[in-house]
Structure formats: C-alpha cells, structure tokens
C-alpha cells in the first residue's frame, strides 16, 4: 500500500492517479457512470445558472434587493462549477482510466479549482444565511445597516479569503490524511455551523410569524412579509439539499478516518461519487430558486421562451 508521501503528484486524493493497476471490477463502470452524469448535467448547470443571474442582473428591482443579489452571487459560484469543475472532472476521470501522460498536472489543476469553487459556494451560502438571520431576528439593524453594496463587499472579501490561502494550504499539507482535511474543515465546517444556526433560528421564527399573519386580515405590508418568509423557507430547502449532497462525502470520510484505509474499490470510487454529488448541488440550487421564487421563475421562463423563439 502506497503512502501519500510516495505519490508523484504534488496534490493527491486517496490514491495515486499516476499508478492505477489491477483495478477492482466495479471501479471503471462506476467512473464511466459518473462521467456520463457530469457530461449531461454540466451544460444544464451552466444554462439554468446563467438564466438566474441574467434575471437578477437585468431587473433593477431584483438587483437592488439584498436577497436576490446574493442569489445571483451564489448562482455565479454554481455556474463556475458547470463551466470549470465538471469539464475538468470528466477530463481527469478519462485521463486516469487511460493513464495519459498529463494526469498529474490535470489532477493538480482540478483539485485546486474544486477547492476554490466549493469553498466559494459554502461561504456564499453562509452570507445568505446571515442576511436572512438579520432580516428575521434583527429587523431594525437590517434596515439600518444591511445593503446590497455591503453584501457585495462581504462576498468579495470571503471569496478572497478562500481563494488566496486555501489552495496553498492544501498543497503544503498533502502528505498527511488528517492534515489534508484542515482546509475543508476550516471552510466547510465553519460555514455550515453558521448556516445551520441561522437557518434553524430564522425558520422557526418565520414560520411562527407567518402563521400569525395568515390568521389576521392581510395588508399589503403583511403580504410583503410573507414573500420574505418564503425566501427564508427557500434557503432552508437549499440547506437540506446541501446536506443530502454532502452525505456521501461525510460517510466515506468517516469510514476512512475510523478504518484508516478504505477497501480498494471504495478507495478508487469514493472520490468520483462524492465529487459528483457536490457538482449536482450546483444544478439543484437554481432549480429550487426557479420553483420557489416567483420573480426568478417568471424571469427564467421568459428567457427560455425568448431563446426558443430565436
């Protein structure tokens, strides 16, 4: 059994991509399946996220709304997954199967790019959760202090914090299995603790306030509040989808940590499985927006009709 330190590539996963021999029978069919899934979903991910971003950016009212602005930023990170990460994943998987000469370089580029895009998605979801938390729990502070400009600055700052040190940390700590988990724990762990705290708090408060509004005669202002609460519930659905997509990663990481090493078949296919489920999150998010948010749904449908006429 090779150790990480004996691998040739500067960044590796749980096996050496330059030395694939005697693969278990289940590995290649599994890789071919996840390649097909990524080939099919990549253009769809690009299309629907482009439509969401286009809908928000073109509409001044949506663009000036803090929540919808963050939806567009989150769609941007999902768009990068469809444009960059999924094609790289497909190329890398094919290259590993064929043992092409540039597999090591492709592996490093993919690992660095995936680390960035997944990190950007996590911190953007954290900012969306904080925006909903302040809107529901601290409305006076929200009205006085939370603006689209400040949220754009916060998003740019967190993207920079993820983008500058994270790939280099991943490169430096590659030789230890446990040390390799540090960048992911710092980014995803911190983000999801904040996300789960905010979402659980605002979900309960929003549901309680929404029931109180429905029981009364609804005014125009109350109708507006109901829309805001529906946006909060949409965030809850996205978080649930994220947890579902992260489950394969968490389960396999726990098994690997407890047992020390995965069995050969799991060791080879686990990376392909959980990277594919993470990629699918980028198409699930905009679908949820389009189904749950009437403004996004109307804008996406309008642009799809225009494209069909063209």
Please state, in angstroms and rounded to a whole number, the distance separating the CA atoms of residues 117 and 282. Answer: 10
Contact 245, 278 (CB under 8 A): yes
Please state, in angstroms and rounded to a whole number, the distance separating the CA atoms of residues 194 and 128. Answer: 11
Tokens found for residue 26? 């289940």
**pLDDT by residue for the chain (310 residues), tens digit each?**
444 444 566 666 666 666 666 667 777 888 899 999 999 999 999 999 999 999 999 988 888 888 899 999 999 999 999 999 999 999 988 888 887 888 888 888 888 888 888 888 888 988 998 998 898 888 889 888 889 999 999 999 988 887 665 556 655 555 555 555 566 666 677 788 888 888 888 877 777 776 666 656 555 555 666 677 777 778 788 888 887 777 766 666 666 556 555 566 667 777 788 889 889 999 999 999 888 888 888 888 888 776 555 4
CB within 8 Å of 284: residues ≥ 6 apart: 238, 241, 245
Contact 77, 121 (CB under 8 A): yes
Three-class DSSP labels, the chain: CCCHHHCCCCCCCCCCCCCCCCCCCCHHHHHHHHHHHHHHHHHHHHHHHHHHHHHHHHCHHHHCCHHHHHHHHHHHHHHHHHHHHHHHHHHHHHHHHHCCCCHHHHHHHHHHHHHHHHHHHHHHHHHHHHHHHHHHHCHHHHHHHCCHHHHHHHHHHHHHHHHCCHHHHHHHCCCCHHHHCHHHHHHHHHHHHHHHHHHHHHHHHHHHHHHHHHHCCCCHHHHHHHHHHHHHHHHHHHHHHHHHHHHHHHHHHHHHHHHCCCCHHHHHHHHHHHHHHHHHHHHHHHHHHHHHCHHHHHHHHHHHHHHHHC
Give Cα separations from 51 to 20, 41, 76, 206, 295 (angstroms). 41, 15, 11, 29, 12
Which top CATH class is 26-298? Answer: mainly alpha
Tokens found for residue 297? 């749904």
Contact 48, 285 (CB under 8 A): no
> What pLDDT, on a 0 to 100 scale, did the predictor assign at position 8?
61
For 22, phi then psi, to 5°, come to 50, 55
Mean pLDDT of the chain: 79
pLDDT in tens, 238-296: 888 887 777 766 666 666 556 555 566 667 777 788 889 889 999 999 999 888 888 88
Handedness of CA 77, 81, 82, 88 (dihedral sign): positive
Contact 275, 90 (CB under 8 A): no
Contact 26, 265 (CB under 8 A): yes
- What number of other Cβ atoms are within 10 A of residue 244's Cβ? 13
């Amino acid at each position: 059994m090779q150790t990480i330190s004996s691998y040739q590539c500067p960044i590796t996963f749980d096996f050496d991509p330059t030395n694939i021999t005697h693969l278990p029978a289940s590995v290649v069919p599994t890789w071919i399946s996840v390649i097909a899934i990524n080939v099919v979903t990549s253009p769809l991910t690009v299309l629907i996220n482009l439509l969401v971003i286009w809908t928000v950016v073109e509409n001044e009212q949506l663009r000036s709304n803090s929540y919808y602005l963050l939806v567009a930023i989150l769609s941007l990170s999902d768009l990068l997954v469809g444009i960059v990460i999924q094609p790289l994943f497909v190329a890398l998987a094919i290259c590993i199967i064929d043992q092409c000469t540039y597999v090591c370089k492709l592996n490093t580029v993919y690992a660095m790019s995936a680390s960035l895009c997944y990190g950007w998605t996590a911190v953007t979801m954290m900012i969306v959760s904080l925006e909903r938390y302040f809107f529901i729990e601290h409305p006076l502070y929200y009205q006085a202090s939370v603006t689209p400009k400040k949220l754009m600055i916060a998003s740019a700052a967190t993207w920079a914090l993820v983008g500058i040190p994270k790939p280099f940390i991943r490169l430096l700590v590659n030789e230890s299995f446990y040390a390799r988990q540090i960048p992911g724990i710092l980014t995803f762990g911190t983000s999801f603790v904040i996300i789960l705290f905010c979402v659980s708090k605002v979900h309960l408060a929003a549901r309680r306030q929404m029931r109180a509004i429905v029981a009364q005669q609804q005014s125009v202002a109350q109708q507006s509040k109901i829309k805001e609460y529906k946006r909060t519930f949409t965030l809850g659905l996205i978080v649930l989808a994220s947890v579902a997509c992260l489950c394969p990663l968490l389960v396999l990481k726990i098994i690997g940590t407890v047992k020390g090493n995965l069995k050969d078949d799991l060791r080879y296919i686990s990376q392909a499985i959980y990277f594919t489920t993470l990629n699918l999150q980028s198409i699930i998010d905009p679908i949820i927006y389009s189904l749950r948010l009437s403004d996004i749904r109307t804008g996406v449908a309008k642009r799809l009709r225009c494209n069909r006429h063209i």
